[in-house]
Structure 1
Amino acid sequence: MNGKPFKKRNYRPLIILLSVVLIGAIGILSGVPGVEDFNAFDVTILPLLNAIFNTFTFIFLVCALVAILKGKVSVHKRFIYAAFGTTFLFLVSYVSFHYLAPSTPFGGDGFLAGFYYFILITHIVLAAAIVPLALTTVTRAWNMENERHKKIARWTMPIWLYVSFTGVLVYILISPYY
Protein backbone atom coordinates (compact mmCIF):
# COMPACT_ATOMS: atom_id res chain seq x y z
CA MET A 1 0.00 0.00 0.00
CA ASN A 2 1.08 3.62 0.12
CA GLY A 3 2.16 3.75 3.76
CA LYS A 4 -1.23 4.74 5.10
CA PRO A 5 -3.02 2.36 7.42
CA PHE A 6 -5.92 0.53 5.83
CA LYS A 7 -9.26 1.89 6.96
CA LYS A 8 -12.15 -0.54 7.19
CA ARG A 9 -15.50 0.73 5.98
CA ASN A 10 -18.89 -0.03 7.44
CA TYR A 11 -20.94 -1.38 4.55
CA ARG A 12 -23.75 -2.76 6.77
CA PRO A 13 -26.21 0.14 6.16
CA LEU A 14 -25.67 -0.14 2.39
CA ILE A 15 -26.08 -3.92 2.47
CA ILE A 16 -29.33 -3.60 4.42
CA LEU A 17 -30.65 -0.87 2.11
CA LEU A 18 -29.78 -2.75 -1.09
CA SER A 19 -31.19 -6.01 0.28
CA VAL A 20 -34.48 -4.45 1.33
CA VAL A 21 -34.87 -2.50 -1.92
CA LEU A 22 -34.00 -5.43 -4.20
CA ILE A 23 -36.00 -8.07 -2.37
CA GLY A 24 -38.91 -5.65 -1.86
CA ALA A 25 -38.99 -4.59 -5.52
CA ILE A 26 -38.90 -8.19 -6.70
CA GLY A 27 -41.62 -9.14 -4.23
CA ILE A 28 -43.84 -6.26 -5.31
CA LEU A 29 -43.28 -6.87 -9.02
CA SER A 30 -44.10 -10.56 -8.61
CA GLY A 31 -47.62 -9.52 -7.63
CA VAL A 32 -48.09 -6.93 -10.39
CA PRO A 33 -50.27 -8.18 -13.27
CA GLY A 34 -47.96 -6.88 -16.00
CA VAL A 35 -48.31 -4.09 -18.55
CA GLU A 36 -51.38 -4.52 -20.74
CA ASP A 37 -50.86 -4.63 -24.49
CA PHE A 38 -47.07 -4.33 -24.33
CA ASN A 39 -45.88 -5.23 -27.81
CA ALA A 40 -42.58 -3.43 -28.36
CA PHE A 41 -40.89 -6.85 -28.39
CA ASP A 42 -41.62 -10.41 -27.35
CA VAL A 43 -41.06 -10.30 -23.60
CA THR A 44 -40.88 -14.11 -23.41
CA ILE A 45 -37.25 -13.75 -24.54
CA LEU A 46 -36.42 -12.28 -21.11
CA PRO A 47 -36.76 -15.56 -19.16
CA LEU A 48 -34.31 -17.13 -21.63
CA LEU A 49 -31.92 -14.24 -20.96
CA ASN A 50 -32.42 -14.85 -17.22
CA ALA A 51 -31.42 -18.48 -17.69
CA ILE A 52 -28.37 -17.47 -19.73
CA PHE A 53 -27.28 -14.96 -17.07
CA ASN A 54 -27.81 -17.59 -14.35
CA THR A 55 -25.76 -20.08 -16.37
CA PHE A 56 -22.88 -17.63 -16.64
CA THR A 57 -23.17 -16.81 -12.93
CA PHE A 58 -22.94 -20.52 -12.11
CA ILE A 59 -19.90 -20.99 -14.38
CA PHE A 60 -18.17 -17.89 -12.96
CA LEU A 61 -18.80 -19.10 -9.39
CA VAL A 62 -17.39 -22.55 -10.13
CA CYS A 63 -14.31 -20.92 -11.70
CA ALA A 64 -13.98 -18.62 -8.67
CA LEU A 65 -14.18 -21.62 -6.35
CA VAL A 66 -11.55 -23.53 -8.31
CA ALA A 67 -9.30 -20.45 -8.37
CA ILE A 68 -9.46 -19.88 -4.63
CA LEU A 69 -8.88 -23.57 -3.92
CA LYS A 70 -5.72 -23.25 -6.01
CA GLY A 71 -4.73 -20.10 -4.08
CA LYS A 72 -5.21 -17.77 -7.04
CA VAL A 73 -6.82 -14.86 -5.20
CA SER A 74 -6.73 -12.32 -8.05
CA VAL A 75 -8.33 -14.81 -10.47
CA HIS A 76 -10.92 -15.64 -7.80
CA LYS A 77 -11.76 -11.92 -7.44
CA ARG A 78 -12.23 -11.49 -11.18
CA PHE A 79 -14.63 -14.41 -11.40
CA ILE A 80 -16.57 -13.18 -8.36
CA TYR A 81 -16.91 -9.74 -9.94
CA ALA A 82 -18.02 -11.41 -13.18
CA ALA A 83 -20.64 -13.37 -11.18
CA PHE A 84 -21.86 -10.12 -9.63
CA GLY A 85 -22.05 -8.61 -13.12
CA THR A 86 -24.15 -11.41 -14.58
CA THR A 87 -26.30 -11.46 -11.44
CA PHE A 88 -26.92 -7.72 -11.90
CA LEU A 89 -27.89 -8.27 -15.55
CA PHE A 90 -30.17 -11.11 -14.41
CA LEU A 91 -31.88 -8.79 -11.92
CA VAL A 92 -32.47 -6.13 -14.58
CA SER A 93 -33.93 -8.70 -16.97
CA TYR A 94 -35.98 -10.41 -14.24
CA VAL A 95 -37.50 -7.17 -12.95
CA SER A 96 -38.22 -6.04 -16.52
CA PHE A 97 -40.00 -9.29 -17.35
CA HIS A 98 -42.12 -9.23 -14.21
CA TYR A 99 -43.03 -5.59 -14.84
CA LEU A 100 -43.95 -6.17 -18.48
CA ALA A 101 -45.56 -9.62 -18.46
CA PRO A 102 -48.26 -11.39 -16.51
CA SER A 103 -47.26 -14.28 -14.28
CA THR A 104 -46.85 -17.61 -16.06
CA PRO A 105 -48.53 -20.54 -14.30
CA PHE A 106 -46.84 -23.94 -14.30
CA GLY A 107 -48.87 -26.34 -16.42
CA GLY A 108 -47.45 -29.66 -15.30
CA ASP A 109 -48.97 -32.04 -12.76
CA GLY A 110 -48.12 -35.04 -10.60
CA PHE A 111 -44.50 -35.62 -9.61
CA LEU A 112 -43.25 -32.96 -12.01
CA ALA A 113 -45.42 -30.28 -10.39
CA GLY A 114 -44.22 -31.26 -6.92
CA PHE A 115 -40.61 -31.22 -8.09
CA TYR A 116 -41.08 -27.86 -9.83
CA TYR A 117 -42.66 -26.19 -6.80
CA PHE A 118 -40.03 -27.61 -4.44
CA ILE A 119 -37.24 -26.23 -6.66
CA LEU A 120 -39.09 -22.92 -7.14
CA ILE A 121 -39.77 -22.35 -3.43
CA THR A 122 -36.24 -23.22 -2.30
CA HIS A 123 -34.87 -21.10 -5.14
CA ILE A 124 -36.96 -18.07 -4.11
CA VAL A 125 -36.15 -18.34 -0.40
CA LEU A 126 -32.43 -18.81 -0.99
CA ALA A 127 -32.33 -16.10 -3.69
CA ALA A 128 -33.63 -13.65 -1.10
CA ALA A 129 -31.01 -14.86 1.38
CA ILE A 130 -28.15 -14.63 -1.11
CA VAL A 131 -28.51 -10.87 -1.58
CA PRO A 132 -27.25 -9.85 1.89
CA LEU A 133 -24.96 -12.90 2.10
CA ALA A 134 -23.12 -12.11 -1.14
CA LEU A 135 -22.87 -8.41 -0.33
CA THR A 136 -21.57 -9.14 3.17
CA THR A 137 -19.08 -11.68 1.83
CA VAL A 138 -17.62 -9.29 -0.74
CA THR A 139 -17.44 -6.35 1.67
CA ARG A 140 -15.55 -8.48 4.18
CA ALA A 141 -13.04 -9.20 1.43
CA TRP A 142 -12.82 -5.49 0.60
CA ASN A 143 -12.15 -4.77 4.28
CA MET A 144 -9.45 -7.44 4.29
CA GLU A 145 -11.29 -9.36 7.02
CA ASN A 146 -9.98 -12.59 5.53
CA GLU A 147 -11.02 -15.01 8.28
CA ARG A 148 -14.52 -13.54 8.53
CA HIS A 149 -14.71 -13.55 4.71
CA LYS A 150 -13.79 -17.24 4.54
CA LYS A 151 -16.25 -18.10 7.30
CA ILE A 152 -19.25 -16.55 5.54
CA ALA A 153 -18.07 -17.57 2.04
CA ARG A 154 -18.42 -21.20 3.09
CA TRP A 155 -22.17 -20.53 3.27
CA THR A 156 -22.47 -17.98 0.49
CA MET A 157 -20.78 -19.97 -2.27
CA PRO A 158 -22.93 -23.13 -2.12
CA ILE A 159 -26.14 -21.12 -1.69
CA TRP A 160 -25.28 -18.84 -4.61
CA LEU A 161 -24.38 -21.88 -6.73
CA TYR A 162 -27.71 -23.49 -5.83
CA VAL A 163 -29.66 -20.33 -6.64
CA SER A 164 -27.99 -19.84 -10.01
CA PHE A 165 -28.35 -23.53 -10.95
CA THR A 166 -31.98 -23.79 -9.87
CA GLY A 167 -32.76 -20.55 -11.70
CA VAL A 168 -31.83 -22.34 -14.92
CA LEU A 169 -33.77 -25.44 -13.85
CA VAL A 170 -36.89 -23.38 -13.09
CA TYR A 171 -36.64 -21.85 -16.57
CA ILE A 172 -36.28 -25.26 -18.22
CA LEU A 173 -39.31 -26.58 -16.35
CA ILE A 174 -41.63 -23.62 -17.00
CA SER A 175 -40.46 -22.59 -20.48
CA PRO A 176 -43.02 -24.78 -22.32
CA TYR A 177 -45.79 -22.68 -20.72
CA TYR A 178 -44.68 -19.22 -21.90
Structure 2
Amino acid sequence: MDERSNQQVKKRNYKPAIIIISVVLIGAIGVLAGLPGVEGFDAFDVTILPLMNAIFNTFTFLFLVGALIAILKRNVKVHRRFIYAAFVTTTFFLITYVGHHFLSDSTAYGGSGFGMYFYYFILITHIVLAAAIVPLALTSVARAWNMENERHKRIARWTMPIWLYVSFTGVLVYILISPYY
Protein backbone atom coordinates (compact mmCIF):
# COMPACT_ATOMS: atom_id res chain seq x y z
CA MET A 1 0.00 0.00 0.00
CA ASP A 2 1.17 3.50 -0.72
CA GLU A 3 2.57 5.19 2.37
CA ARG A 4 1.03 8.55 1.39
CA SER A 5 -2.47 7.05 1.22
CA ASN A 6 -2.41 6.53 4.98
CA GLN A 7 -1.64 10.17 5.60
CA GLN A 8 -3.74 13.25 5.07
CA VAL A 9 -2.53 14.85 1.85
CA LYS A 10 -2.87 18.60 1.52
CA LYS A 11 -4.43 19.17 -1.89
CA ARG A 12 -2.74 21.79 -3.96
CA ASN A 13 -4.06 23.72 -6.90
CA TYR A 14 -1.71 22.88 -9.77
CA LYS A 15 -4.07 24.27 -12.44
CA PRO A 16 -2.30 27.66 -12.87
CA ALA A 17 1.10 25.97 -13.23
CA ILE A 18 -0.30 23.42 -15.68
CA ILE A 19 -1.83 26.18 -17.80
CA ILE A 20 1.34 28.31 -17.77
CA ILE A 21 3.65 25.38 -18.56
CA SER A 22 1.36 24.14 -21.32
CA VAL A 23 0.92 27.54 -22.98
CA VAL A 24 4.60 28.49 -22.74
CA LEU A 25 5.85 25.12 -23.95
CA ILE A 26 3.41 24.70 -26.83
CA GLY A 27 3.77 28.37 -27.79
CA ALA A 28 7.57 28.24 -27.79
CA ILE A 29 7.58 25.13 -29.96
CA GLY A 30 5.07 26.73 -32.33
CA VAL A 31 7.19 29.85 -32.66
CA LEU A 32 10.41 27.89 -33.16
CA ALA A 33 8.80 25.79 -35.89
CA GLY A 34 8.24 28.95 -37.92
CA LEU A 35 11.72 30.43 -37.49
CA PRO A 36 14.75 29.73 -39.67
CA GLY A 37 17.65 27.96 -38.01
CA VAL A 38 20.71 29.75 -36.69
CA GLU A 39 22.79 30.68 -39.71
CA GLY A 40 26.36 29.40 -39.76
CA PHE A 41 26.04 27.21 -36.64
CA ASP A 42 28.86 24.67 -36.79
CA ALA A 43 29.74 23.83 -33.18
CA PHE A 44 28.47 20.28 -33.79
CA ASP A 45 26.40 18.38 -36.32
CA VAL A 46 22.82 19.25 -35.36
CA THR A 47 21.47 16.24 -37.27
CA ILE A 48 22.41 14.18 -34.19
CA LEU A 49 19.60 15.89 -32.26
CA PRO A 50 16.70 14.16 -34.09
CA LEU A 51 18.35 10.80 -33.36
CA MET A 52 18.55 11.79 -29.71
CA ASN A 53 14.86 12.80 -29.88
CA ALA A 54 14.01 9.33 -31.17
CA ILE A 55 16.09 7.67 -28.45
CA PHE A 56 14.41 9.72 -25.73
CA ASN A 57 10.97 8.96 -27.23
CA THR A 58 11.84 5.26 -27.27
CA PHE A 59 12.74 5.35 -23.58
CA THR A 60 9.58 7.32 -22.81
CA PHE A 61 7.51 4.67 -24.62
CA LEU A 62 9.24 1.84 -22.74
CA PHE A 63 8.85 3.60 -19.38
CA LEU A 64 5.15 4.16 -20.08
CA VAL A 65 4.67 0.49 -20.95
CA GLY A 66 6.44 -0.37 -17.68
CA ALA A 67 4.17 2.06 -15.81
CA LEU A 68 1.09 0.52 -17.41
CA ILE A 69 2.15 -3.02 -16.53
CA ALA A 70 2.99 -1.96 -12.97
CA ILE A 71 -0.38 -0.31 -12.38
CA LEU A 72 -2.24 -3.26 -13.91
CA LYS A 73 -0.42 -5.36 -11.30
CA ARG A 74 -1.45 -2.75 -8.69
CA ASN A 75 2.16 -1.87 -7.92
CA VAL A 76 1.77 1.89 -7.37
CA LYS A 77 5.35 2.43 -6.24
CA VAL A 78 6.86 0.95 -9.43
CA HIS A 79 4.19 2.68 -11.54
CA ARG A 80 5.13 6.04 -10.06
CA ARG A 81 8.83 5.45 -10.70
CA PHE A 82 8.20 4.58 -14.34
CA ILE A 83 6.02 7.66 -14.78
CA TYR A 84 8.71 9.88 -13.30
CA ALA A 85 11.27 8.24 -15.61
CA ALA A 86 8.95 8.96 -18.56
CA PHE A 87 8.74 12.61 -17.50
CA VAL A 88 12.55 12.79 -17.32
CA THR A 89 13.07 11.33 -20.80
CA THR A 90 10.27 13.51 -22.17
CA THR A 91 12.02 16.56 -20.70
CA PHE A 92 15.31 15.50 -22.34
CA PHE A 93 13.37 15.02 -25.59
CA LEU A 94 11.94 18.54 -25.32
CA ILE A 95 15.39 20.04 -24.72
CA THR A 96 16.90 18.33 -27.77
CA TYR A 97 13.78 19.01 -29.87
CA VAL A 98 13.78 22.74 -29.08
CA GLY A 99 17.55 22.85 -29.58
CA HIS A 100 17.29 21.21 -32.99
CA HIS A 101 14.50 23.50 -34.16
CA PHE A 102 16.34 26.55 -32.84
CA LEU A 103 19.61 25.64 -34.55
CA SER A 104 18.44 24.28 -37.91
CA ASP A 105 15.80 24.67 -40.58
CA SER A 106 12.94 22.20 -40.81
CA THR A 107 13.57 19.12 -42.91
CA ALA A 108 11.08 18.44 -45.69
CA TYR A 109 9.87 14.92 -46.36
CA GLY A 110 11.26 13.85 -49.73
CA GLY A 111 9.08 10.86 -50.51
CA SER A 112 5.94 10.62 -52.60
CA GLY A 113 2.84 8.51 -53.07
CA PHE A 114 1.52 6.38 -50.22
CA GLY A 115 4.67 6.98 -48.15
CA MET A 116 4.11 10.72 -48.23
CA TYR A 117 0.45 10.42 -47.19
CA PHE A 118 1.36 7.96 -44.43
CA TYR A 119 4.15 10.24 -43.18
CA TYR A 120 1.96 13.33 -43.07
CA PHE A 121 -0.90 11.47 -41.39
CA ILE A 122 1.48 10.23 -38.67
CA LEU A 123 3.15 13.66 -38.37
CA ILE A 124 -0.09 15.64 -38.09
CA THR A 125 -1.69 13.29 -35.55
CA HIS A 126 1.59 13.23 -33.64
CA ILE A 127 1.78 17.04 -33.48
CA VAL A 128 -1.86 17.52 -32.46
CA LEU A 129 -1.73 14.85 -29.77
CA ALA A 130 1.72 16.00 -28.56
CA ALA A 131 0.18 19.40 -27.83
CA ALA A 132 -2.72 17.73 -26.03
CA ILE A 133 -0.51 15.45 -23.94
CA VAL A 134 1.24 18.32 -22.18
CA PRO A 135 -1.74 19.43 -20.04
CA LEU A 136 -3.10 15.86 -19.85
CA ALA A 137 0.12 14.42 -18.40
CA LEU A 138 0.59 17.34 -16.02
CA THR A 139 -3.03 17.08 -14.83
CA SER A 140 -2.71 13.31 -14.39
CA VAL A 141 0.35 13.63 -12.20
CA ALA A 142 -1.14 16.54 -10.23
CA ARG A 143 -4.20 14.44 -9.42
CA ALA A 144 -1.97 11.59 -8.32
CA TRP A 145 0.03 13.94 -6.09
CA ASN A 146 -3.23 15.17 -4.53
CA MET A 147 -4.31 11.55 -3.97
CA GLU A 148 -7.40 12.16 -6.11
CA ASN A 149 -7.26 8.53 -7.18
CA GLU A 150 -10.61 8.26 -8.98
CA ARG A 151 -10.06 11.51 -10.88
CA HIS A 152 -6.50 10.39 -11.66
CA LYS A 153 -7.75 7.07 -13.07
CA ARG A 154 -10.37 8.80 -15.22
CA ILE A 155 -7.87 11.14 -16.88
CA ALA A 156 -5.09 8.54 -17.01
CA ARG A 157 -7.32 6.32 -19.16
CA TRP A 158 -6.97 9.02 -21.82
CA THR A 159 -3.47 10.21 -20.99
CA MET A 160 -1.71 6.84 -21.15
CA PRO A 161 -2.79 5.75 -24.65
CA ILE A 162 -2.27 9.23 -26.08
CA TRP A 163 1.18 9.56 -24.52
CA LEU A 164 2.08 6.07 -25.78
CA TYR A 165 0.92 7.07 -29.27
CA VAL A 166 2.87 10.34 -29.19
CA SER A 167 6.10 8.71 -28.02
CA PHE A 168 5.78 5.82 -30.51
CA THR A 169 4.92 8.05 -33.46
CA GLY A 170 7.77 10.39 -32.52
CA VAL A 171 10.15 7.51 -33.22
CA LEU A 172 8.23 6.60 -36.38
CA VAL A 173 8.41 10.20 -37.67
CA TYR A 174 12.17 10.11 -37.14
CA ILE A 175 12.52 6.81 -39.00
CA LEU A 176 10.45 8.11 -41.90
CA ILE A 177 12.23 11.46 -42.27
CA SER A 178 15.79 10.46 -41.32
CA PRO A 179 16.85 9.72 -44.94
CA TYR A 180 16.21 13.39 -45.75
CA TYR A 181 18.45 15.00 -43.12
Q: Distance in 2 between matches of 1:154 and 1:131?
A: 15
User: How many equivalent residue pairs?
Assistant: 177
Q: Distance in 1 between matches of 2:98 and 2:9?
A: 38
1:62 matches 2:65: yes
1:111 matches 2:108: no
Residue in structure 1 matching 2:125, options 111, 122, 125: 122
1:57 maps to amino acid: T
1:33 matches 2:36: yes
2:140 maps to amino acid: T
Which residue of 2 is the match for residue 93 of structure 1?
A: 96
TM-score for both structures, normalised by structure 2 = 0.96
2:56 maps to amino acid: F
Which residue of 1 is the match for residue 148 of structure 2?
A: 145
Residue in structure 2 matching 1:9, options 6, 12, 18: 12
Q: Once the 2 structures are TM-superposed, how far is the Cα of residue 5 of structure 1 from its aligned partner? A: 3.8
Q: Distance in 2 between matches of 1:6 and 1:44?
A: 46
Q: Distance in 2 between matches of 1:18 and 1:37?
A: 31
3-state SS of the aligned residue for 1:103?
A: coil
Over the residues paired in the alignment, what is the CA RMSD in angstroms?
1.1
Identity %: 77
What are the equivalent positions in structure 2 for 1:129-140 lying under 5 Å apart?
129-140=132-143
Q: Distance in 1 between matches of 2:144 and 2:88?
A: 17
3-state SS of the aligned residue for 1:105?
A: coil
Q: Once the 2 structures are TM-superposed, how far is the Cα of residue 7 of structure 1 from its aligned partner? A: 1.2
3-state SS of the aligned residue for 1:41?
A: coil
Q: Distance in 2 between matches of 1:4 and 1:89?
A: 33
CA-to-partner distance for each residue in 1:21-75, whole Å, 9 max, x for gaps?
A: 0000000000111000100000000000000000000000000000000010000
CA-to-partner distance for each residue in 1:89-136, whole Å, 9 max, x for gaps?
A: 000000000000011000000000000000000000000000000000
Unaligned ranges ≥5, structure 1:
none
Which residue of 2 is the match for residue 170 of structure 1?
A: 173
Q: Distance in 2 between matches of 1:103 and 1:124?
A: 14
Q: Once the 2 structures are TM-superposed, how far is the Cα of residue 4 of structure 1 from its aligned partner? A: 7.4
1:89 maps to amino acid: F
Which residue of 2 is the match for residue 75 of structure 1?
A: 78
Which residue of 1 is the match for residue 22 of structure 2?
A: 19
Q: Distance in 2 between matches of 1:96 and 1:28?
A: 13
TM-score for both structures, normalised by structure 1 = 0.98
2:79 maps to amino acid: H
